[in-house]
Structure 1
Amino acid sequence: MTTKQSAPPRELVVVLDFGGQYKQLIARRVRECQVYCEIHSYKTPIDELKAMAPKGIILTGGPNSVFEATSPTYQKELYELGIPILGICYGSQLMAHTLGGEVKKAPVSEYGHTKLTIDGPDSLIMKDVAADTVCWMSHTDYIAKAPEGFAVTAHTPNCPIAAMENPDKKLYAVQFHPEVVHTPEGKKMLQNFLTKVCGCAGTWQMNTFVKDTVAALKEKIGDDRVLLGLSGGVDSTVTAVLLSKAIGKQLTCVFVDHGLMRKDEGDEVEAVFGPKGDFDLNFIRVNAGETYFKKLKGVTDPEQKRKIIGALFVEIFGAEAKKLTDEGGFKYMAQGTIYPDVVESGAGNGGAVIKSHHNVGGLPQEMVVELGFDQTPIEPLRDLFKDEVRKVGLELGIPRNLVFRQPFPGPGLGIRVVGEVTPEKVKITQEADAIYREELEKAGIDMGKGQFFAALSNLRSVGVMGDDRTYDYAVVLRGVITSDFMTAEAAEIPWSVLQTCMNRIINEVKGVNRVMYDLTSKPPGTIELE
């Protein structure tokens, strides 16, 4: 369900995706400026773009070269709409190439931190940016000549046109990435583009979202009943409470416990949402761990595991829904889908599939018809990023410890156990993870700034415990600091804390004789191991 704000009207900025790895990050930075933003494919027809009436358009980076015949492009008419446009990296080169400038293979490629000199102090997007600053570069081509009517507003030692603009036509371009934290003044540049060029007022706020969404849910649902698959994670928790605020006992939540949760978490979910909990809803728990382990036996491919776990959820949830509808019908199914799920699954207009998300797309069509559900599921968080979901949770009065609980993937420990998933491996992972998070909490590590968990590798190695030779598993501890979960850096956990974790895990968790700490950032890695 897409909830529209009524007053004031929702401003929209479109991120036009040309295959850039940072497309979500660009959108996230725009949202941080309190401007609503959506990602759409470069294949979006121009008439559709015009119909959206965006206040501005941002062209993303991408891995291609504008010279290649098969590279993504867009018709020249885009730049004649009168809508402010900001091209980033590939987007800047495409703007230059399309409008008659010259793009060449760079004599020296630039990657990483680069000194940036501002040449256009009167530029609207460079306003209040230091004359000498730092930016994050990642390119092998560069703009050798700006199109007619464009002024150069920044350069680097190896890039003569690091930024250019044609303010009369509201066209702006930067070769670097202002959206990443490695460009310290990048957010200021984006804020300048949104406010000074696009004229955005910044009306996208979570208190307004909550009020309007609850009202929209009441109006849409009326006296009908809604069924929600509740995982106990932040997204489904906030979805459940939003619906509870709107329709109360017309909501039934089904919690499918797949046996792949963190230690004692299934019981904790029931304590929060069950009959003794604080929320006005109906709660049903289905214990299905044994069924999941049977289906996952012998499966090692991570994408196949995701698909099995997702398909089995649909099957079990569908069977429970059938039972419930036989007792009294539901018109709607609700889901805790959030915006990154939509984009990464390729379900929206944002591009390629990065990984499968079991909660995107709803139940199979034939099951929806059989159960009598409306064909469009209710997804009140579909437009939100994770930190926006947390803000909504706080606005709803959900306890802070639930709102800021450690993120947990839909497939659970199924993708934190590398290789085949067995009850023994899940038990090892649960115990190691519980020890790790307990010790971090004791040490005063702020886990709210990122994601911290233990995973089980498929590596078995020789060790010595006492006088005996062992051949056991290696546990991988993962800790990342991130504000948006689209980029992340390894957390600098004190050595003494890691040593304590290692000692406790090896001594207390049977089947482990080695503990490692994962230093990989995102990119190039992902936050989860699989």
Structure 2
Amino acid sequence: MTDTQAVQTPDNVAPVLVVDFGAQYAQLIARRVREARIYSEVIPHSATVDEIKAKNPAALILSGGPASVYAEDAPSIDPALMDLGVPVFGICYGYQCMAAALGGEVANTGGREFGRTPLRVTETDSVLLAGQPAEQPVWMSHNDAVQRAPEGFTVTASTEGAPVAAFENLERQMAGVQYHPEVIHTPHGQQVLTHFLYDIAGLEPTWTAANIAETLIDQVREQVGENGLAICGLSGGVDSAVAAALVQRAIGDRLTCVFVDHGLLRAGEREQVQNDFVAATGARLVTVDAAETFLTELKGVSDPETKRKIIGREFIRSFEGAVSEVLGDRAASGQKVDYLVQGTLYPDVVESGGGTGTANIKSHHNVGGLPEDLEFELVEPLRLLFKDEVRAVGRELGLPEEIVGRQPFPGPGLAIRIVGSVDAERLATLRKADLIAREELSSAGLDSTIWQCPVVLLADVRSVGVQGDGRTYGHPIVLRPVSSEDAMTADWTRVPYDVLEKISTRITNEVAEVNRVVLDVTSKPPGTIEWE
């Protein structure tokens, strides 16, 4: 996958580019910029000045990172970047790089700061910090600090360990902070970013659901052309449904949706997909029953990356097999289906290592899991969007809340919620446990509170239990309820104890193969939302 395939800026949109220096939160910075209704994307720090200029950026934000600016192998910025006439904002390491490139001084004086830190606003006329308390908590993570601001910059804040904790130069449309405004632990952080974007960079908030939808429809129409035929891999989740609705709006009945029942679905999923989506859109839907094929190919496979790649490959093979049915009468005229629509999102691309210089956390079946001999050209209208933006676009297109508000469910289905190899018996066990958890969470009114609740079967683990006065040796089930805005970061959801008790009691009573239910209380990072 090339960088161009991974991230392609929407037409006629000047992006705010987040230059990633290896930060934990680079994608979160982009997410916060979009919260201000301005389009943003992440690029690696290795991008050249010419490559950055070619993207016609509206502004640059330099992210944090783990290095020291004066270390020999530290990533740095080309000073020419500061002379592009583009507004620049630095955060933490990016702030230090910016200061050094502009002639300021950065040093390690032993005054390192980590976590919540008191900040003092020292310049009452600051535009960046306007309307904020004179003393406020911020989230710090640094060993080095700016000791002297570049010439022409006004120092606007300080902490005990960072004498120059913020600076700005309104004439050059530049500013920066030593702390992390993008994280929720900095209460006024979003206000800082908004002041930079609106009041220093002079940008307008035009990245709205209506504009996004209109732009994406135009792009699809241009890509597929006037006569192209497309099929969409419909999974029943939010992403593929919104992608399908966008493409249908662009090319009409030249789109056919293909739902592959791979046998890895939750209870009732097939019926729900067939009924809800067709009723909401009127789109043509072809269902392919491929459960036996998928289970055969997955037999004995326990490695999660291998599972994902097998599922990605078999998805494509299923679509290829459905082409004759999709074409119908068009086959006689020599037409063929050239385009495959997928609901790939920006977090999918990022976690698969696509185009940002980030590590490959896991290959999503629709990104890193596709076969090399793919016969279709991919149409991925949501590739630059976060989940909440996808939901907003879905509502803009008129999709019902039953679809756009649905909790995410992975394309590989229950296969990646079984830790171990996949077979029909293990799927049946997990399917029963998953249904119980969903029923009890819904009954407790928690559907809108919980972003997602994967139910995981530890198929290769057994533990001793006592049921009916006898010894059992059953599998554990893991509950993984999480809260999130965009799936890039997440926290575990504090489900009431009485609800957890009901879920545990029902699962251990009703699912004979399970004798233990446990709760995953790990945030993301360090854990991902899914176990595999």
* TM-score, L = length of structure 1: 0.92
Query: Would you say the 8 A contact 1:244–1:280 is kept in 2?
Result: no
What is the CA-CA distance between 1:191 and the residue it aligns to?
0.5
Is residue 27 of structure 1 aligned with residue 30 of structure 2? yes
Q: 2:205 aligns with which of 195, 202, 206?
A: 202
Aligned mates of 1:158, 1:439 — CA distance in 2: 50
- Which deviations, in whole Å up to 9, do the C-alpha atoms of 1:231-264 show, x marking residues without a partner? 1111110111122223332111111222222222
**Structure 2, unpaired ranges of 5+:** none
What is the CA-CA distance between 1:121 and the residue it aligns to?
2.5
Q: How does 1:162-311 map to 2 (within 5 A)?
A: 162-218=165-221, 220=223, 221-273=225-277, 277-311=279-313
Match of 2:505 in 1: 503
Aligned mates of 1:361, 1:225 — CA distance in 2: 24
Query: Would you say the 8 A contact 2:21–2:62 is kept in 1?
Result: yes
Match of 2:431 in 1: 430
Greater CA drift, 21-30 or 439-448? 439-448
Aligned mates of 2:196, 2:176 — CA distance in 1: 11
Q: 1:112 aligns with which of 108, 112, 115?
A: 115
- Which deviations, in whole Å up to 9, do the C-alpha atoms of 1:443-497 show, x marking residues without a partner? 1224355222311224311000011101111111111122222222221111111
Match of 2:441 in 1: 440
Q: Write the letter of the residue equivalent to 2:482.
A: V
Aligned mates of 2:29, 2:387 — CA distance in 1: 15
Query: Would you say the 8 A contact 1:13–1:36 is kept in 2?
Result: yes
Match of 1:336 in 2: 343
What is the CA-CA distance between 1:76 and the residue it aligns to?
0.7
Give the aligned length.
Answer: 519
Q: Write the letter of the residue equivalent to 1:320.
A: A
What is the CA-CA distance between 1:117 and the residue it aligns to?
1.7
Q: How does 1:103-182 map to 2 (within 5 A)?
A: 103-105=106-108, 107-182=110-185
What is the CA-CA distance between 1:137 and the residue it aligns to?
1.7
Q: 1:523 to 1:286 in 2, by over 3 A?
A: same
Aligned mates of 1:298, 1:111 — CA distance in 2: 46
Query: Would you say the 8 A contact 2:507–2:514 is kept in 1?
Result: yes
Instruction: Say which SS state the counterpart of residue 127 (structure 2) adopts.
Output: coil
Q: 1:216 to 1:108 in 2, by over 3 A?
A: closer
Query: Would you say the 8 A contact 2:276–2:403 is kept in 1?
Result: no
Match of 1:395 in 2: 396
Match of 1:347 in 2: 354
Aligned mates of 1:488, 1:88 — CA distance in 2: 22
Greater CA drift, 326-335 or 123-132? 326-335
- Which deviations, in whole Å up to 9, do the C-alpha atoms of 1:372-418 show, x marking residues without a partner? x5x4x222222211111100111111110210111112222222112
Aligned mates of 1:362, 1:499 — CA distance in 2: 38
What is the CA-CA distance between 1:512 and the residue it aligns to?
0.8
Instruction: Say which SS state the counterpart of residue 169 (structure 1) adopts.
Output: coil
- Which deviations, in whole Å up to 9, do the C-alpha atoms of 1:64-116 show, x marking residues without a partner? 22233322222111112221111112111212233333333452542222222
Aligned mates of 1:267, 1:126 — CA distance in 2: 53
Match of 1:381 in 2: 382
Q: Write the letter of the residue equivalent to 2:392.
A: K
Aligned mates of 1:446, 1:132 — CA distance in 2: 38
Q: 2:466 aligns with which of 464, 467, 485?
A: 464
Match of 2:522 in 1: 520
Aligned mates of 2:137, 2:120 — CA distance in 1: 8
Is residue 95 of structure 1 aligned with residue 98 of structure 2? yes
What is the CA-CA distance between 1:34 and the residue it aligns to?
0.6
Instruction: Say which SS state the counterpart of residue 180 (structure 1) adopts.
Output: coil
Q: 1:3 to 1:17 in 2, by over 3 A?
A: closer
Match of 1:486 in 2: 488
**Structure 1, unpaired ranges of 5+:** none
Match of 1:36 in 2: 39
Q: 1:188 to 1:460 in 2, by over 3 A?
A: same
Q: 1:318 to 1:141 in 2, by over 3 A?
A: farther
Query: Would you say the 8 A contact 1:79–1:171 is kept in 2?
Result: no
Q: Write the letter of the residue equivalent to 1:436.
A: A
The RMSD of aligned alpha carbons is: 2.3
Instruction: Say which SS state the counterpart of residue 409 (structure 2) adopts.
Output: coil
Instruction: Say which SS state the counterpart of residue 353 (structure 1) adopts.
Output: coil
* TM-score, L = length of structure 2: 0.91
Aligned mates of 2:370, 2:463 — CA distance in 1: 42
Q: Write the letter of the residue equivalent to 1:420.
A: S
Q: 1:298 to 1:217 in 2, by over 3 A?
A: closer
Query: Would you say the 8 A contact 1:129–1:189 is kept in 2?
Result: no
Aligned mates of 2:310, 2:226 — CA distance in 1: 35
- Which deviations, in whole Å up to 9, do the C-alpha atoms of 1:207-239 show, x marking residues without a partner? 122234334544553233211111111111011
Match of 1:48 in 2: 51
Instruction: Say which SS state the counterpart of residue 428 (structure 1) adopts.
Output: helix
Query: Would you say the 8 A contact 1:3–1:380 is kept in 2?
Result: no
